[in-house]
Copies of this chain bind each other. A is one copy, B any other.
Amino acid sequence: MTKMQITAEPGVPQVLTTRVLHAPRNLVYRAFTEPDLLVQWLGPRKYAMTVDRFDLRDGGTWRYVHSDDAGNAFGFHGVFHGNASPDGIVQTFEFEGAPGHVSMDTVTFEERDGETTVRTNSVFQSVQARDAMVEAGMAGGMSEGYERLDELLARLVANS
């Protein structure tokens, strides 16, 4: 199993991550852009995920909710920018528990020898906002999500 690498330099309002997945790029891209697949892997295992909106076009909006067994629900939403493709997706990101804070994510997918490297680039309005997101467990949640994505991709490859 590969591990997610994360870079969050002091004084820079940005987080970069890199993760290798053992699947071709088109399949990884599907897992990022088809809501039926997305809900099977995005985020920690303890949350059930529902997608409210996922309008994958320039200016289209997305929204999903993570819910736990205790009845807590956490909403997130944003706007897609530009035309998403396996080359990349650009979208803004807002956690509804922290209104007014907006970050912007760029995700790219690079295939080599049947493996796909996913790189995420998140920029924040300030270093403080970036640090708050890191301290809230951003890396752990993403890393656990990628482990679930490994499992989903293995199932999809086995069934293809």
Interface residues of A (CB under 8 A from B): 9, 11-14, 59, 61, 79, 81-82, 88, 90, 92, 94, 99-100, 102, 104, 106, 121, 123-126
The residues of B that contact A124 with a CB separation of less than 8 Å are 123
Do B121 and A102 touch across chains, with their CB atoms under 8 A apart? Answer: no
A-B contact pairs, 13 of them (CB 8 A): A12-B13, A13-B13, A13-B14, A59-B61, A59-B79, A79-B79, A81-B92, A81-B102, A82-B100, A104-B104, A106-B125, A121-B126, A123-B124
A interface secondary structure, majority = strand
The residues of B that contact A79 with a CB separation of less than 8 Å are 59, 79, 81, 92
4 closest pairs, A vs B, by CB? A123-B123, A81-B102, A79-B79, A104-B104
The residues of B that contact A100 with a CB separation of less than 8 Å are 82, 88, 90
The residues of B that contact A61 with a CB separation of less than 8 Å are 59
Give the nearest-CB partner of A104 in chain B.
B104
Give the nearest-CB partner of A125 in chain B.
B106
Do B125 and A125 touch across chains, with their CB atoms under 8 A apart? Answer: no
Distance from A95 Cβ to chain B, minimum over Cβ atoms (Å): 12
